Amino acid sequence: MADGTSTDSSTVDGVEQRMLAGLAHTSLTRLPGLADALVEQTWGDVYTPDGPVGKDDLWRSCRDNIHSILTTLAGSGPSQQDLLRAARATGSRRAQQHCPLDWVLHAWRLGGQVLWTDLASRSGAQSPEELRRLVGAAGELWGVTERFSTEMALSYHTSEQEMLGGVELRHTMILDALLDGRAAEVRAEAEHLLDLGRGRGFVVAVAETSGEHQVSPRGLTQALQRRGLRSAWRLRTGCQVGIIGVDDGRAGEVAAALREHAVARIGVSQELTALMEVGAGYRMAMLAMATLPAHRPGAVALDDCLPDALALSSPQLADRMVAVTFGPVLALPAAEREELLRTTSVWIRSLGSTLRAAKSLYCHRNTVLNRLRRLESLTHLDLSDVTVWPQVLLALSILRREGRLPPELDSA
């Protein structure tokens, strides 16, 4: 919930204000139950067990801020500065917990609804006129709630800026040193930051930031936290770069966790153990990211795309491989070219079974054989020699990634 100071009482007549103060005073006696009601509405909706805010912490902040708002409406008790303390403390604490401000503001709006429901449920018992007066005083309730909410948000932003100017600024400098190959300068701090070093494993991840969707480092951090993975992120040209600590061969979980929240392309390096390898891991993660189709969100680990990464690492060699493997075929009309290449891809992925390939291609097995012979006559490849299959599949993958063939031509 949020805090607020008193609003302009000229909008509420004396009778309405006295009635609202009386209702607020009575609601103060129901404070624990109101905090319970607000937590019940919020928990599992915005705040979750695996999120940054514990349930006990949420309950205490709800209770303290409801108390401040009701005390303000009751018109008695501590000074306004004292009453605003709970809202400011909530904002500062949530910023330090890296809890999204939108979550906090949403809880605040729900808090206003909880208070209104409680006040309205006890109005009109004596006369309908009492309920009418409460409606007339509604602006006072929402004005106070909004004022306290504003104070909370200001405190949140202040704390956030202080962190960016202090601890997080130092974290940024540490990450820059690791990425730039200056690990020796920051070894002790880096080991503390991510609990790295001493043989512990980590991976480097890069998340593309260009394009329509902008990736949030906070969202990436929380996605990894849900799996018990600790990370730190740094904005570099065109991407967010993260270092993620992994244990017990859990490197494969990183791409899976990031894939669930990917709004752009994300690449993950191989598992590393030495801090001086961060720069190399950064390059490998960039290479893995580049194997994904442009403008298509996803996440891939280097170990899962090694053939494509190898081709990307040497563009000249990749072009030569395509030319040597399929040169004459690429000169054919598009329809014939794609028919031959698709048949070859499906046949190899069918482990050389003409019958299985024919079923996948919805044609007769003799048709498959004729197409394979046609490709062999043009390329002088011997497809019965399984040692040429990796070259053929890699050349197909290069063509697909470069957009020179439809993606489906490189799949069974």
Residue 111 inside a domain? The answer is yes
Residue 263 lies in a domain: yes
Q: Residue 272 has which token pair?
A: 């590393």
- In the block, which residue shows the tokens 């979550």? 103
Residue 182 inside a domain? The answer is no
Query: Would you state the structure tokens that stand for residue 397, as one six-digit string?
Result: 């993958």
Residue 300 lies in a domain: yes
Nearest to 240 by CA among 222, 226, 254, 220: 220
- The reported pLDDT for the residue numbered 21 is 81
Q: Are 278 and 253 in contact (CB under 8 A)?
A: no
Residues 342 and 355 in one domain: yes
Final residue of a structural domain among 282, 312, 342: 312
Residue 114 CA to residue 373 CA, distance in Å, equals: 76
- CA-CA distances (angstroms) from residue 369 to 67, 214, 380, 389? 81, 49, 15, 16
For 382, list phi and psi in degrees, rounded to 5.
-105, 95
- State whether 343 and 254 are in the same domain: no
Residues 217 and 292 in one domain: yes
Q: Are residues 392 and 293 in the same domain?
A: no
Report the relative pairing of strands 298-301 and 265-268 from DSSP bridges. parallel
pLDDT of residue 375: 94
Domain that holds residue 262: 198-312
| Four-point Cα dihedral 337, 339, 342, 344, nearest 10 | -80
Residue 186 falls within a domain, yes or no? no
Check: CB of residue 171 under 8 Å from CB of residue 193: yes
pLDDT in tens, the chain (412 residues): 543 344 444 445 667 777 778 888 888 888 899 899 998 988 887 787 767 788 888 999 999 988 888 888 888 767 777 778 889 999 888 888 878 888 888 888 888 888 888 877 777 655 666 667 777 667 777 888 888 888 888 888 888 777 666 566 677 788 888 888 888 877 777 777 666 656 678 999 999 876 555 677 878 888 888 888 888 888 877 788 999 988 766 777 899 889 887 888 999 999 988 888 888 999 999 999 988 887 788 899 998 888 888 888 888 888 898 999 999 999 999 889 989 999 999 999 888 999 999 999 999 999 999 999 999 999 999 998 988 888 898 888 888 877 777 655 444 4
23, 29, 120, 154 from 125: Cα distances, Å = 12, 18, 10, 39
Residue 219 belongs to a domain:
yes
> Rounded to two decimals, what is the model's pTM?
0.51
- Judge if 332 and 301 occupy the same domain: no
CATH (domain of 77): 1.10.490.10
> CATH code at 379?
1.10.10.2840
Asked if residues 270 and 186 have their Cβ atoms less than 8 Å apart, the reply is: no
Tell me if 185 is assigned to some domain. no
Residues 298 and 327 in one domain: no
The two three-digit tokens of residue 354, written as one number: 């003409």
Q: Is residue 188 part of a domain?
A: no
Close Cβ partners of 167 (under 8 Å, ≥ 6 residues apart): none
Q: Are residues 230 and 307 in the same domain?
A: yes
State residue 201's pLDDT score. 86
Residue-level pLDDT at 410: 42
> Residue 285, SS3?
helix
Q: Inter-axis angle of helices 315-330 and 334-349, to 10 degrees? A: 110
CATH number of domain containing 202? 3.30.70.120
Whether 194 contacts 231, CB under 8 Å: yes
Looking at the fold, whether 284 and 319 belong to one and the same domain comes out as no
* Domain stop point among 271, 292, 312: 312
Number of domains in the chain: 3
Amino acid type, 353: S
Longest alpha-carbon distance in the chain = 98
- Check whether residue 247 and residue 144 sit in a common domain: no
**Structure tokens that stand for 96 in this block:** 């330090």
* Terminal Cα distance for the chain, rounded: 55
Strands of the sheet with 201-208, listed across from one edge: 231-236, 239-246, 201-208, 265-268, 298-301
Q: Same domain, yes or no, for 161 and 25?
A: yes
Q: Is residue 206 within 8 Å of 244, Cβ to Cβ? A: no
Domain final position from 312, 345, 373: 312
Between the alpha carbon of residue 228 and those of residues 216, 233, 253, 256, 403, the distances in Å are 19, 16, 10, 13, 38
- Do 211 and 275 lie in one domain? The reply is yes
Q: Are residues 132 and 222 in the same domain?
A: no
